[in-house]
Structure 1
């Protein structure tokens, strides 16, 4: 769809105005062919197995790497960013071991829901003004938002692989509007990381084999969210009290000093998710979990995976008052929960008491993975 220079200018002014009205802090435009290096980088990521069990990445690799493959009619891509900057350093809670640390982005409503409706409103205004067609994406389709945002000039992909902005630090949600309208692209941003390694050195699990490369299999966000099985033993202590995601690499970025705090009405944290009590979270059954996390992205992982995470945090808490509620989860219907409870109890109970409990529990436990947890955590086992 051909657009005159004057029409392009007016349409861009409309897009900028509507984006501000909808609460987006930044908006920029790029071309669908503006990320030529992305296909090779993505292919290397998958070839090295860094995507872990996220099979959908490998299955959609061609469409992810080339926007025009996803939608051949696209002529311009509008990238919009919404600030979710916290009002304090999210790492402070890591010292409060009786509390659960939830990633900043998940402490309020699901950002997909917040952003998608607003993007659709802007897209509708674009069609009303310029005609043609549009498609809206918010991390729910094979779109590589971060390389597109860099190409559009909103920021650059830092050494932690996340987008970094000179105005907003590392705290930006991204969404895209694909359009058949031809718009003038913005200039791409350049890398401003320099020699800084703050985000790499702070990672508790050494998830960065090299700058700009992430091995998701070692990332706490992956382990507590995408990973469906038990948390691998080598990472459990390192996870600490992080029960959903991890903000360490984001929070360590020096560019955050320029970031503003998210609007209270938009994406500020729910008070009950800032420092939730491990003892209360351990009591959640499926119905209570769904109710408590209604509207939250946490709801998507389900109660069993979430309680698994909380049990790992309990095992790292040194809080023996949690022992009775953890012990009660040995009878949980989920083997995933029972196995995590075994590990937590091995850390909270005296060795002799734990050995007696193991001898009793092994008589009735039929799940092989849970039995293996018991065997691996007994005092005479190699490691725990």
Structure 2
């Protein structure tokens, strides 16, 4: 592992560190956004779901185009634009006292995230040659996400910053510092960026490729259903706990987020080592199976049984630390080199599951209650397992397979050198 880490350049390290600080400050307040909408703006469960879904949908649409844009003008420029938008988005949310202003702020934040995240993943793997090194960089990025996500809410509670708009200002300042750092690190790469041998990167060409890439399309559908199921822990869990009148609601929810993050922090790399000889699709299948078990436990937990909820979250977290880093690796291995940003952008469509999650979860909770919610998520996870099996054996364009062989040959040459 240390040998692979030595191959990381400054841009890779910047993305990993920036990801940590962004998530750490964001998670001081973002998981409690539903409480802000409920307490400050008197929205009910379904209205909160539509509010969150609408702003996310805007970000997904932008993300679809941002990936292709990064193939054309360079990853660095798109990332810088995303960081700058995030600065203004968080500042607006800090000072806004109206629901309309808050909606504009959350929408801008979703746009900024879309401009940063997928080009960042593509940039990391662009700078690295060997597949193991690429996989490690994506694992470390996901690890940074979860370290920040685990400690952010706990620190926020300790400092009294949960559900506080002042925290948005702190996130804005962190984003501004990240922007200045990125500008310093990226300026030489932007200035010296040579125009490579041009290959078709327009949307017409991308569409013609995707029509043939049945495996990738099935994988995107599977990932969308995964997002609907998994995001219930974020979008519906707090409403579920409030509906069943759990005591010390905020502290319990923060503890669940902390447990989720700590499980990944502790087990991600041991599991990576344990499963190193398992194919990426089989790894993903194993993660989905753990999701199924977790949702069955959720469905059978007695009301107000905090220990049972915690146990289900731990199982779900084990599945997450196997599945989600593997998703990024699968996208990276599926993508043609000159369309890597575009493939990550198209994969953004699967985040429609995040848009639908609050609406689906809010509807099921309000109309049918918690049991039906968790059983429905269990069924969706079973569908994901079937789609992954189909994607593993589905048709792919011929030139993608040829490019993969060329990449493997290049890796062999680099290893010998």
Q: TM-score range by the shorter chain?
A: under 0.3
Query: Over alpha carbons, which structure has the higher Rg?
Result: 1
TM-score (norm 1): 0.27
- Point out the structure with the larger strand share: 1
Structure with larger RCO (C-alpha < 8 A, sep 6+): 2
TM-score (norm 2): 0.25
